[in-house]
Amino acid sequence: MDFHGIIPYLVSPVGADGRVLEAPLRRLVEALIGQGVHGLSPLGSTGEAAYLSFEQRLEIVRIVVEQAAGRVPVIPGVAAYSTGQAARQAQAFARAGADGLVAILQVMFPLPRAGLLGFYRDLAHATPLPLVIYTNPGLYGADLPLDVVEELSAEPTIAYIKDASGNTGRIQSLINRCGARLKVFSASAHLPAVVFQLGGVGWMAGPACIIPRQCVALYDLCQAGRWAEAYALQARLWPVNELFQKHGMAAFIKAALNAQGYAVGDPIPPQQPLGDMGGEIERVLRACG
Amino acid sequence: MDFHGIIPYLVSPVGADGRVLEAPLRRLVEALIGQGVHGLSPLGSTGEAAYLSFEQRLEIVRIVVEQAAGRVPVIPGVAAYSTGQAARQAQAFARAGADGLVAILQVMFPLPRAGLLGFYRDLAHATPLPLVIYTNPGLYGADLPLDVVEELSAEPTIAYIKDASGNTGRIQSLINRCGARLKVFSASAHLPAVVFQLGGVGWMAGPACIIPRQCVALYDLCQAGRWAEAYALQARLWPVNELFQKHGMAAFIKAALNAQGYAVGDPIPPQQPLGDMGGEIERVLRACG
Amino acid sequence: MDFHGIIPYLVSPVGADGRVLEAPLRRLVEALIGQGVHGLSPLGSTGEAAYLSFEQRLEIVRIVVEQAAGRVPVIPGVAAYSTGQAARQAQAFARAGADGLVAILQVMFPLPRAGLLGFYRDLAHATPLPLVIYTNPGLYGADLPLDVVEELSAEPTIAYIKDASGNTGRIQSLINRCGARLKVFSASAHLPAVVFQLGGVGWMAGPACIIPRQCVALYDLCQAGRWAEAYALQARLWPVNELFQKHGMAAFIKAALNAQGYAVGDPIPPQQPLGDMGGEIERVLRACG
Amino acid sequence: MDFHGIIPYLVSPVGADGRVLEAPLRRLVEALIGQGVHGLSPLGSTGEAAYLSFEQRLEIVRIVVEQAAGRVPVIPGVAAYSTGQAARQAQAFARAGADGLVAILQVMFPLPRAGLLGFYRDLAHATPLPLVIYTNPGLYGADLPLDVVEELSAEPTIAYIKDASGNTGRIQSLINRCGARLKVFSASAHLPAVVFQLGGVGWMAGPACIIPRQCVALYDLCQAGRWAEAYALQARLWPVNELFQKHGMAAFIKAALNAQGYAVGDPIPPQQPLGDMGGEIERVLRACG
């Protein structure tokens, strides 16, 4: 199976009692597939993975896999400080029917090279699923040096990387080193058309939850090499990303989905819901066309 | 119950298969109590709490409480991004017999003041146990402004703070604001005699696992107001702290305990055990007298 | 006068006695103009401006202006913590014949919005020369919020911005807000073809000192809309940027120019010259074609 | 000559035209000496050294030396990115009658060990004056590893260090390593009584400009070993330091001196004067007794 295209990072709707809100999650999955997205990624940063118990995470994967029903691949995030917890999640998600995994290493104490290599290799061997390495030093503390990524790209199941450093030059460096061995996904911290033009295969990001149709249109323009139109559309969509980065990711996507009628609830406490933004979210969404 | 004095942060001995190593943990608890420590704190940073599952954490609390058998208070760390997971740990640890809790807030997205207050208040109300607020912006991302701490000190069960900022002036600021409402523990990032002299009541830190007798002697000198002797002893012990901060906390304490014959195993992967340090650990421990 | 295209950041050749090395600087200017660059920018980060006295800076501007002799614009950097020192440099450089100025604000204590606006406005009014606002929070401590840049773009002589944040999305945000009022230059922290495709007008960077011909070719491909060729060339040139960022900018460019025969000397002490790199610089330069 | 005790960091009164305001500077020097301070340090961080031209700095040293007239030592700050500029300042200040120098290394590009050693050694050899090494990674970018400081302490004229890291444990580490070869001054980021108790010889800091009498009293209590009284006084004075750190150092000290009638003017633009603080400064000063 080949992962590519627009893969929204799903929010995790959870009630005040800690129960996963199944109905809005199923509605969201259905709507996104209906708008043409190419995959679904629960339990990323936008999915507040680190705020959830193992049981809540597994329940979310189970629901998304069931609702997607094979129409698009489901690629949940595995996020842990320890290799053991990561492998436990990976194996449970694989059994639940996931098609691939986004591998998020959380780092508390500085890790030597052997520790970085060890985490991803052990995780790659824990299941037969393809792995998307995720790097985001700002949120999770793990910064993967280029030569570590290059070495990891030799692993058969480490086939993708999603770089969220926000440093677009790093994507050129990755592509120069790893070539076809490692396919690149853009994160919300990058301009997606740029990553496509550099050779990237897709965009995994929270904003695609709320403007899926426009994101798919952007992807199609890039695939067709219609760059001028793609860049013009991207310029129009970019304010959504600005709000996303300014307003705490999950808090913003949940607020926007609530405004669109999905009833996904508030961000998980102690995070706070966005206050009254005076219609700014609605204005920005309307301007996306 | 009044918490004070030398309270070692326990390591978490875990085997390669993820099982808690019960025997060395019980031996360590026994030895520390035998050397006169005034309490025990499993599941702090030194205890690699963030690397452990809920089940592993609960098992460790159960063992330590049982072995301590009421001789000294057991004050485990509760560490979570979400209020719900923190409350779940707190309630389980209370049922297992903990005497108090160290409250560790992990932060991924910037939290407004209401979120900071909400986390600690909800946790304070989750059990009747006294709470030690722990602040360590470097490791966990949460920086508690002084006025937030001051407001929290009005909660009846928020009775202690362990500041690990490394900024000793902040301890003066806390004491000036909160006075007797909030008792202060030193972390390993501070010189403990200084914190005692400023009015602090104890020292919660990983190094006390490996030099408990000397830490208790330092505490006794401070309590007796024999400052010159206390500062001289502290100067002699300080190289242990330097190694602790330089070598990844848990990795160092586990290596030193292994050198002392406790067989606590390696740090939890992907962390790596310390390599051969050419006898440096033994030399530094010997110099502590 | 319209600034655009490839504008190398010149190194500052200075002898051990502090004298500006006039001959190699003139040779470098001559060679760069001969290879088709569209402007020259002495006294940027690559130019070690912060390491030089006012007198040394002025001497360098005088030499570059004289040697360029009007063939291409000369746009030196003005770098200071205080408005007064910045204005003094600006006025002296204007009298020496500079065609524009790169405005570098150095920040030690956090500056409120009024301070940011004040610095750039006062500098804009100090001479009639067009200003290139330079933002590089990593090196100089000043992070200009987007709305401050937008407000500054209303000043008639604030006509350009060189963003060195490394965050390419920020360039889209700037263009969305300021449109034609503020023309954008790429820094070495960005992929230049991307900035051109987003609407940028040029590339101001240290690496253009050592591969000027290839940079001009890249610019020409972008101007012609031959994006596939441009991106392929950029991929080939990118390793030069990697070395530049890894090896302390000035130290690397001086080493590379020395390898090319320019005798520009070492970086200014206490910076150290690069040690033996085993032919890596030569290999990377050769691979640029 | 032996440096010790309370050494205020002087502000730099400068008019809107860039002229040094001689009269208020002389009055301040006179008042501080009258209140018993043990030395004077112009051109530190509080002195906005980085905001001043070489000529302004020299003029300030000239005035302070002349007004002090040998009653207390004058130890101006030398602050530069380059060894050459630092040496030039050092030699000019020595000729103007300075008794010692505070050596401030500004760092833009990461410096290897040889560069760190080179800067301080070359500066130590530039004049016969004793040097106070100043370390403040937050403000100036230079972090001196302990072993570099230890190696530098072998230089005959490198006799003091002022550590402004805010990490009091680092002072214990310095004293353990360098012993009597390097005398330690506290910065405003430390509790001064603590540094005295650890063996420090003095306190160099901006707040001593505005509460000199109380700072001298604190020093006397520490010298007499009356620690309980010293810590009680320090607790009362600490809110001055809190305001100092919160309100941009120079901006706060200038505001407080203006409130005391010294007419030292505003911080140097683009820094902004403090706005109306509703009498907070006066209240905090009054509470110091």
For the ranges A141-145, B141-145, C240-244, D108-112, the one whose mean pLDDT is highest: C240-244
Range of the domain at C80: 5-287
- Phi/psi at B232 (5° precision): -65, -40
Give residue B124's pLDDT band: very low, low, confident or very high (50, 70, 90).
very high
| Amino acid in the structure at residue B278 | G
d(CA D92, CA A267): 61
Question: Tokens standing for D167?
Answer: 């990490």
- A43, A51, A109: best to mutate for the B interface, most B CBs within 10 A: A109
Determine the distance from the C-alpha atom of residue B28 to the mean position of all C-alpha atoms in its chain, rounded to a whole number. Answer: 15
- Closest to D165 (Cα-Cα) out of D184, D183, D147, D139: D139
To the query of whether residue C162 is one of the catalytic residues in this protein, the response is yes
The pLDDT score that the predictor gives to residue B206 is 96
Question: Tokens standing for A51?
Answer: 């705020």
Do strands A131-135 and C183-186 pair parallel, antiparallel, or not at all (unpaired)? Answer: unpaired
Q: Is the dihedral of CA C243, C245, C247, C252 positive or negative?
A: positive
Touching partners of D (3+ C-beta pairs < 8 Å): B, C
pLDDT, tens digit, 9 for 90 and up, residues D173-208: 999 999 999 999 999 989 999 999 999 999 999 999
The pLDDT score that the predictor gives to residue B141 is 76
- pLDDT of residue C141 exceeding 80, the answer is no
A residues 197-226 near C, CB within 8 Å? Answer: 197-198
pLDDT, tens digit, 9 for 90 and up, residues C68-96: 999 999 999 999 999 999 999 999 999 99
Give yes or no for B132 touching D (CB within 8 A).
no
Radius of gyration over alpha carbons of chain D, in Å? 18
> Residue D191: its chain B contacts at CB < 8 A?
168-169, 172, 194, 198
How would you class C42 by CB atoms within 10 Å of its CB: exposed for 0-12, middle for 13-18, buried for 19 or more?
buried
- Closest to D218 (Cα-Cα) out of D190, D250, D245, D244: D190
User: 3-class SS at B165?
Assistant: coil
The C-alpha angle C247, A148, A129, rounded to 5 degrees, equals 150
Q: Which residues of D261-281 are buried (b: 16+ CB within 10 A; e: fewer)?
A: ebebbbbbbbbbebeeeeeeb
| Amino acid in the structure at residue B125 | H
Question: What percentage of chain A exceeds 90 in pLDDT?
Answer: 92
d(CA D39, CA D23): 19
- Phi/psi at A104 (5° precision): -115, 110
- Closest to B88 (Cα-Cα) out of B77, B96, B78: B78
d(CA C60, CA C55): 9
Peptide bond into A270 cis (omega under 30): yes
Q: Are C3 and C199 in contact (CB under 8 A)?
A: no
d(CA A192, CA C220): 24
Question: Tokens standing for D61?
Answer: 């040293």
Give yes or no for B137 touching D (CB within 8 A).
no
The minimum CA-CA distance between D109 and chain C, rounded to whole Å, is 6
Radius of gyration over alpha carbons of chain B, in Å? 18
Phi-psi region of B279 (alpha: psi -120 to 50; beta: other; left: phi over 0): left
The pLDDT score that the predictor gives to residue A279 is 94
Question: Tokens standing for D231?
Answer: 């810590």
Peptide bond into D239 cis (omega under 30): no
Q: How many domains is chain D built from? A: 1
> Residue A241: its chain C contacts at CB < 8 A?
169
The pLDDT score that the predictor gives to residue B251 is 96
Query: Looking at residues D64-75, what average pLDDT do you find?
Result: 98
In sequence order, what are the residues at sequence separation of 6 or more whose Cβ sits closer than 8 angstroms to the Cβ of residue D72?
D33, D37, D38, D39, D40
pLDDT, tens digit, 9 for 90 and up, residues B63-73: 999 999 999 99
To the query of whether residue D162 is one of the catalytic residues in this protein, the response is yes
- pLDDT of residue D141 exceeding 80, the answer is no
Q: Give the strands of the sheet with C202-205, arranged side by side.
A: C5-8, C202-205, C183-186, C158-163, C131-135, C101-105, C77-80
The interface predicted TM-score (ipTM) is: 0.96
Q: Are A75 and A101 in contact (CB under 8 A)?
A: yes
- pLDDT of residue D140 exceeding 90, the answer is no
Q: Are A167 and A173 in contact (CB under 8 A)?
A: no
- pLDDT of residue A141 exceeding 80, the answer is no
The pLDDT score that the predictor gives to residue C166 is 85
- pLDDT of residue A125 exceeding 90, the answer is yes
- Phi/psi at C287 (5° precision): -70, -15
Nearest CA in chain A to B270: A115
pTM of the model: 0.96
User: 3-class SS at A44?
Assistant: coil
pLDDT, tens digit, 9 for 90 and up, residues B208-245: 999 999 999 999 999 999 999 999 999 999 999 999 99
Nearest CA in chain C to D115: C270
The pLDDT score that the predictor gives to residue D139 is 79
The pLDDT score that the predictor gives to residue B254 is 98
Place of tokens 């009658």: D97
How would you class B134 by CB atoms within 10 Å of its CB: exposed for 0-12, middle for 13-18, buried for 19 or more?
buried
Please tell me the number of Cα atoms within 13 Å of B184 on its side-chain side.
Answer: 29
- pLDDT of residue C201 exceeding 80, the answer is yes
DSSP character at residue D102:
E
Mean pLDDT of chain A: 96
Do strands C202-205 and C131-135 pair parallel, antiparallel, or not at all (unpaired)? Answer: unpaired
The pLDDT score that the predictor gives to residue C71 is 98
- Closest to D157 (Cα-Cα) out of D188, D133, D179: D133
The pLDDT score that the predictor gives to residue D233 is 98
- Phi/psi at B280 (5° precision): -60, -45
The minimum CA-CA distance between D199 and chain B, rounded to whole Å, is 10
Interface contact D108-C139, CB threshold 8 A: yes
DSSP-assigned beta bridge partners for residue A184:
A161
Cα–Cα distances (Å) from D208 to A221, A236, D140, D198, in that order, read: 65, 55, 22, 20
- The domain that holds C83 is classified in CATH as 3.20.20.70
- Closest to C253 (Cα-Cα) out of C7, C11, C17, C71: C11
DSSP character at residue C168:
H
The kind and range of the H/E element at A86 are helix A83-95
